[in-house]
Structure 1
Amino acid sequence: MTSSPAAPVPPGGRWARWLAALRVYREPASLRMLALGFAAGLPLLLVLGTLSFRLREAGVDRATIGHLSWVGLAYGFKWVWAPLVDRVPLPALTAMLGRRRSWLLLSQAAIAAGLVGMALLDPRDGLQPLVLCALLVAFASATQDIALDAFRIESAPGDRQAALAACYQTGYRLAMIWSGAGVLWLAASQEVQSLANGLSERCQALISQAGAVAADVAQGAAQAAAAGASQAAQAASTQAAPSANASVGQALAGSYQNGPWEFAYLIMAVSMAVGMLTVLLMREPAPSVHADADNAAAYQGALTRLARDGAPWLGVAAFAWWVLLVGLTIAAAARLFSWDTLTPAALSAQGAGWLVPWLLSAVGLGLTVLGWRRQGPMLVPAAGSATQGLLAWMLTAFVAPFAEFITRYRWQAVLLLALVGTYRISDVVMGVMANPFYVDMCFSKAQVANVTKVYGVVMTLAGAFIGGVLSMRFGVMRVMVAGAVLSALTNLAFSWLAGFAPDITHAAPALWRLIVVVSADNLASGIASAAFVAYLSSLTNVRYSATQYALFSSMMLLAPKAIAGFSGEFVDAHGYAHFFSATALLGVPVVLLVLLAARQRSTTPENKQEYE
């Protein structure tokens, strides 16, 4: 076994090996990834977490906030356009910067433009324009992730990927401090204090009033039940939660100020300059030169095969169906956000039917890969024709990356994709309601910023650092097992905190309770994330790094985000405590999948050293 020249393993014993593992964080590739991780992490909270805090403060109900989390599905379908990012050059930009850097710069500029639009819009005037700007930010951010993931994979060998993942997570979490706590600090600094100071008092007063209303309704229901009127009792009990939710919403909307949020989001748009300057100053990764040669060779090989054997009609037809479904996906997303107002009633009327084209597009891509591999009637294009060139590009850019993964792992591909699609489900589903939960618990902006957005991110950084070092020392799969268990267990801490919600008898929970919950949750999240990113990197073929990694990271969010869209309705029906307990239970199947994947991985000869 040979050691990397950049960080040789010294023979000085246990402590020397630990120091060698830590030295990787000083390498230039790790420092670059720290800055690029900042650019990647900045948009996420601004279209999901921080935005949900802003909307709840503006009085938007929890069900609508939950549905709007579907904006994050742009990250779950980035594999649709990943082959374009992987293969298609951008006019002028690619010639000047290279393939990875040109796509990074373009996506970062689009993110900045979308953030400016979000800054200038007031959610009280209608949600549609704000959501459309959020979609632009999410789409551009997902595109940036595609190019950045490929850049990271091509910038260092496999034994450095865990350390790069930890640096990426560190930059990512630093950006989350700025886009989480920084936004709250900036907004608070611009508030009219006569309104801001009264927010907590009004919130607690109206929660107490709502609790009194709920108690009266419950008492009436009990009296009706005692009288034998079961239907009246059931109807009365269902009125308590909406009444309480409406009262809190009125309290928050009455104190909402949009000007501070406008100032804060404009500063966030300017902050994207960090990523843009890093892209302009760094070099295109050297492996991309070999990738270009490989791509050219693959394209010429595809031309030769098409001239000799032609293309199966089934594969071409399946690809055409997939392209049609991608168009329907875009139309479904546009229809979802085409209403003048976004309300729970309107969203419930739409149901989950708009998700069908997205799911069918995944099926269509699978049939394309399988159809291209089957024997049958052939379409033989004329040599040198535009049809031959189009089919060759389609074969190398879209079909080959997915076919290579299926060929490499065969039946194990199903297990791997299932694990990738569910590993972070507990955290993702719970995270949608985290900020509305803090607002409804009457924690102030300063408390939320300092504890969850600063201290919490520091704990996540510590977890990512620990996860990166442990992955290099003990192997990725062992750390993934521990991360899956910890992520599920720590969600139960939020259920404990929900038991101290403000009501008639007491005010907001003591701050130390929030600190304890955030410490446990974020430390577990950091450990799990560092190991998981390294695991995803190990599944890719460098030749198709952008497309394959985009598929994996997209599947990581697809099912969790689809489920999370209904989290607001669940909270309204059952309360926060039951919601957080349910998200913990979602992690149980994940632990079983990780154990099964670890067992399969340990039987592969090239991976046995990870378990020895």
Structure 2
Amino acid sequence: MADTQQHEIRTERNLFQALKVYGHPRVVGMAFLGFSAGLPLMLVGATFTAWLRDLGVDLAAIGFLSWVGMAHSIKVLWAPVVDRLELPVLTRIFGRRRSWMLAAQVTIAIGLFGMAITDPTENLWLVAGLAIMTAFGSATQDIAIDAYRVEAVKRERQGAMAATYVGGYRVAMLIAIAGALNIAGFSNWTIAYGAMALLMGVGISTTLIIREPEVVVDRMTLSMEQRVADYLATTRHQGALRDFLAWFIGAVICPFADFMKRFGAMALVILIFVATFRISDIFMGVMAQPFYRDLGFSLSQIGNITGAFGLAMTLTGAAMAGVLVARFGVTRMLIFTAFMAPATNLTFAWLATIGPETYGLVIAIIADNITGGLAIGVFIAYLSSLTNTAYTATQYALFSSLMTLPGQFLAGFTGVLAEAVDWVWFFIITAGIGTPAIVLAFVLARYANPDRINRPGMSG
């Protein structure tokens, strides 16, 4: 009896310690930065296209303007600039990460305000330019916030940082869609986009309050960069060309060389795992809305169950990720979510067999969204463990771009697959697509265990 009581006390103490991770100031602040990151995404995406169509802009123009959102998929191209280039005055006052966050947030706010006061029916080209400006500001903010999140806390708090980030991000996306559409319905689009521009004040205020993370460059990184300096000291190139080579090697070559040197032969396996981890989710997600309609669910059922309720389930999963990573570590949770993420696609196959039953949709959304929130939180913690804080922005931008691009490309063929097979087999196939990620998770646990990765320059 005494042993049982002692075990229960230890379990409660461990759980309490795991929950305490959410009380860390930087973990709390991450929720507000997540909100700032999630707000502009839909305002140059789904909400933007709804606005244009509402004003009668033709479908062809709307289709071309959807390319604005590609800024987030190619942000790795200018991540080295965010990693290494100091902004005049701002970097000296706020530090490397906060200066870029602040500059990006102000750019987004200006872009959204400009869109608010511009009529697309009269100046579509100007609205398009402002949307592009907002999208690139948003992608740049993502780079800086991702780097800050990785550098700000140690590994055991990364799950909680990811959870609060996802929570803030999802709430902002809901406001940017449902909130903006409702404001536009009650008043007009100028007020709607103006209100969204004001909400960027959440991110700006947070950036001004938080502290710049303390980053320590490890010995291996210093040695590699010293070799670059030695090479440049002996090169025949002088002047601007030499300065450019110094920046290019340090900002672009060194981050990739560092990653390959630290992980060796496993580097390619890690990159393939990153590229395949979310494929089943992205692949299935594109056809989710058409599936609900084909099955016979009403728009109100879809909106209520997959909208607010689905968001609550995603946030629940993300919160669980923070606790579970702190309690069990990244490795075991990575294997668990690699298996569960595609497995929950089978709940939709089951839903296809029972038809438009509300309880079936509720069960499918609970399973899919809780697992999805959990998987995203755990995966963000894993990606954070892979980076060297000397090159955080560049390396994390590479991982986050690689995480979505393959799935987004393959998702273009989901309509063809759905028409070729019935819905039951469609979801079974999407579940099977997740098999490589499960196998690779076990391989990484054996040969590149995430909990044993020594992330250089890790902060407190």
TM-score range, shorter chain: 0.7 to 0.9
1:103-114 superposed matches below 5 A: 103-114=100-111
Cross-structure match for 2:260: 406
1:562 to 1:132, Cα distance in 2 relative to 1, 3 A: farther
1:589 to 417, 436, 443: 436
> Are 1:70 and 1:565, in contact at CA under 8 Å, matched by a contact in 2?
no
State the shift of 1:430 in Å.
3.3
The answer for the alignment partner of 2:158 in structure 1 is 161
Larger Cα Rg: Structure 1 or Structure 2?
A: 1
What is residue 255 of structure 1 aligned with on the other side? none
1:528 equivalent in alignment to 2:381: no
Greater Cα offset, 114-123 or 556-565: 114-123
SS in 2 for 1:141: helix
Using the TM superposition, name which of 26-35 and 115-124 deviates more: 115-124
Residue 211 of structure 2 aligns to a residue in which SS?
coil
Q: How many angstroms apart in 2 are the aligned matches of 1:100 and 1:458?
A: 31
Q: Which amino acid aligns with 2:103?
A: L
Q: Distance in 1 between matches of 2:413 and 2:321?
A: 31
Q: Of 228, 232, 239, which residue of structure 2 is paired with 1:306?
A: 232
Give the structure 1 partner of residue 3 of structure 2: none
Match of 1:272 in 2: 200
Q: What is the CA deviation profile of residues 266-289 of structure 1, one whole-angstrom value per residue up to 9, with x for unaligned ones?
A: 3323221110111122222233xx
What SS is found at the alignment partner of 2:213? coil
Whether 2:391 is the aligned partner of 1:537: answer: no
Q: Does residue 152 of structure 2 align to residue 152 of structure 1? A: no
Letter in 2 for 1:24: V
Deviation string 1:228-269 (CA, Å, 9 cap, x unpaired) is: xxxxxxxxxxxxxxxxxxxxxxxxxxxxxxx4x554343323
Within 2, Cα distance between the matches of 1:500 and 1:265? 42
Amino acid at match of 1:452: T
Matched, 1:75 2:1: no
CA RMSD, 1 decimal:
3.9
Q: Does 1:396 align with 2:245?
A: no
For residue 63 of structure 1, report the CA deviation from its aligned partner.
11
Gaps of 5+ in 2: 1-7, 455-460
Q: Could you say which residue in structure 2 is the equivalent of 1:451?
A: 305
In the alignment, the residues of structure 1 paired with residue 55 and residue 284 of structure 2 have an alpha-carbon distance, to the nearest angstrom, of 21
**Aligned partners of 2:418 and 2:43: how far apart in 1?**
23
Aligned to 1:481: 335
The one-character-per-residue Cα deviations of 1:151-205 (angstroms, maximum 9, x if unpaired) are 1122112222222122222222222332243334434545xxxxxxxxxxxxxxx
Q: Contact 1:90–1:102 (CA<8 Å) still a contact in 2?
A: yes
Against the structure 1 CA distance between its residues 478 and 151, is the aligned structure 2 distance closer, same or farther, given a 3 Å change threshold?
A: same
Task: Report the CA distance between 1:47 and its aligned residue.
Answer: 3.8
State whether structure 2 residue 230 is matched by structure 1 residue 381: no
Give, as a single letter, the amino acid of the residue that structure 2 aligns with 1:471: V
Shift of 1:592: 2.0
| In structure 2, distance between residues paired with 1:61 and 1:590 | 41
Residue identity opposite 1:167 in structure 2: T
Query: 1:14-51 CA distances to partner (integer Å, 9 max, x unpaired)?
Result: 21121111111111111111111111122233344555
User: How many Å apart are 1:580 and its aligned residue?
Assistant: 4.7
CA distance in 2, matches of 1:184, 1:437: 24
How big is the shift at 1:554? 1.2
Q: Measure the CA separation in 2 of the matches of 1:83 and 1:584.
A: 36
- Asked if structure 2 preserves the Cα contact closer than 8 Å seen for 1:39 and 1:175, the reply is yes
> What residue identity is the alignment partner of 1:267?
A
Does 2:212 match 1:284? yes
Aligned partners of 2:385 and 2:453 also within 8 Å? no
Tell me the amino acid that sits aligned with residue 106 of structure 2: A
Which of 17, 23, 29 is equivalent to 1:20?
17
Deviation at 1:596? Answer: 2.0
Whole-angstrom distance in 2 between the partners of 1:574 and 1:267: 45
**Deviation, structure 1 residue 306:** 1.9
Cα shift at 1:413: 0.6
Deviations 1:478-519 (A, max 9, x none): 212222222213334445556788xxxxxxx45544433322
Task: Answer yes or no: is 1:176 the counterpart of 2:173.
Answer: yes
Report the secondary structure of 1:542's partner residue. coil
Give me the whole-angstrom Cα distance separating, in 1, the residues matched to 2:62 and 2:285: 12
Q: Which amino acid aligns with 1:90?
A: L
**Separation in 1, partners of 2:48, 2:416:** 18
> What residue in structure 1 maps to residue 458 of structure 2?
none
CA-to-aligned-CA distance 1:545-569 (integer Å, 9 cap, x gap):
1111111111111212222345456
Secondary structure at the counterpart of residue 391 of structure 2 = helix
Which residue in 2 is equivalent to 1:43? 40
Residues 308-323 of structure 1 correspond to what in structure 2 (within 5 A)? 308=234, 310=235
Superposition pairs for residues 411-430 of structure 1, below 5 Å?
411-430=265-284
Matched-pair contact (CA < 8 Å) for 2:112–2:194: yes
- Whole-angstrom distance in 1 between the partners of 2:240 and 2:304: 59
Alignment TM-score, normalising by the size of structure 1: 0.63
**1:297 and 1:592, CA in 2 relative to 1: closer, same or farther beyond 3 A?**
closer
Instruction: Check 1:131–1:448 CA distance in 2 against 1; reply closer, same or farther (3 A cut).
Output: farther
Contact conserved, 2:382 with 2:450, CA < 8 A, in 1? no
Q: Is the 8 A contact 2:156 2:325 kept in 1?
A: no
2: CA distance, partners of 1:603 / 1:534: 10
In 2: Cα distance, 1:99 partner to 1:150 partner: 10
Q: Distance in 1 between matches of 2:426 and 2:263?
A: 37
Local SS of the residue matching 1:283: coil
- The sequence identity of aligned pairs, in percent, is 45
Alignment of 1:461 with 2:458, yes or no, is no
Structure 1 CA distance for aligned equivalents of residues 33 and 57 of structure 2: 34
SS at match of 1:286: coil
After superposition, residues 358-373 of structure 1 pair within 5 angstroms as none
Per-residue CA shift, 1:205-226, capped at 9, x if unaligned? xxxxxxxxxxxxxxxxxxxxxx
Gap change, CA 1:490 and 1:43, over 3 Å in 2 = farther
19-28 vs 102-111, which deviates more?
Answer: 102-111
Letter in 1 for 2:377: A
Rate the CA distance shift 1:48–1:518 in 2: closer, same or farther, 3 A: farther
Specify whether residues 490 and 188 from structure 1 end up closer, same or farther in structure 2 by C-alpha distance, changes over 3 A only.
Answer: farther
1:426-448 CA distance string (max 9 Å, x none): 2223334445666776744x655
Partners of 1:549 and 1:588 lie apart in 2 by: 24
What TM-score, normalized to structure 2?
Answer: 0.82
Q: Write the distance in 1 (CA, Å) between the matches of 2:53 and 2:304.
A: 19
One-letter code aligned to 2:405:
L
Q: Is the 8 A contact 2:444 2:450 kept in 1?
A: no
